[in-house]
Amino acid sequence: MPPTAATTKQALLDAARGEFAEHGIAGARVDRIAARAGVNKERIYGYFGNKEKLFDAVMKSALDELAEVASLPGNDPVEYVGKVFDHYVRHPDLLRLLMWEALHRRPANLPEQQWRVDRCRAKVASLAEHLDREPSAEVGRTVVSLIGLAMMPMAMPQLAELVGVRMDSPESTARMREHVTAFARTALESGTSGT
């Protein structure tokens, strides 16, 4: 039975996610993506238009997955940090995709810019409500700090190792999670988070 268009498109997204995470936007090759997906590379152009638009679709899919796991920080900001941390542990490719996107600065707005703006502003509003404050740049900085706290150990593992921190076992990863959530709790409770 021949694959459906949805199946083929999903196979391309899955293959592209791995290729982009490994090689970035510039280094990724459509022929390798097509080979990984087991389809003709013309399908990439047919479904997505070009390699950059395929990358954009991969990013939207990956960020949608993260949003499903860690919705809004205002419900419980400390647990939000823990959930984001857990997601990055399970999906290190998302961190790599985010870093490749940052390195591959494009002159125009980010793809799905308004969707991203709306989602990020919802996080700021959610945390502001939890803190009994108005949404502001100050609360936005706190959201950025909480997300950074959750991602940094996986984004810069070489730095962690230089200071003697390893995350090479479930136990050491759990200790790091406990640390980042405790750090977030202390910062939020003491007001050192800027709020």
Domains of the chain: 1-55 (1.10.10.60), 70-190 (no CATH)
Per-residue pLDDT of the chain (195 residues; tens, 9 = 90+): 456 888 999 999 999 999 999 999 999 999 999 999 999 999 999 999 999 999 999 999 998 888 888 778 888 999 999 999 999 999 999 999 999 988 887 656 666 678 888 888 999 999 999 999 999 999 999 999 999 999 999 988 888 889 988 888 999 999 999 999 999 999 998 875 554
Give residue 55's identity as a one-letter amino acid code. F
Among 88, 98, 86, 78, which Cα is nearest to 154's?
Answer: 88
> Could you give the angle at which helices 137-155 and 92-103 cross, rounded to 10 degrees?
120
Among 4, 3, 5, 47, which Cα is nearest to 16's?
Answer: 47
Q: What angle do CA 77, 111, 144 make, to 5 degrees?
A: 25
77 within 8 A of 146, measured Cβ to Cβ: yes
Q: What is the pTM of this model?
A: 0.85
184 within 8 A of 73, measured Cβ to Cβ: no
C-alpha span between 124 and 65 (Å, rounded): 19
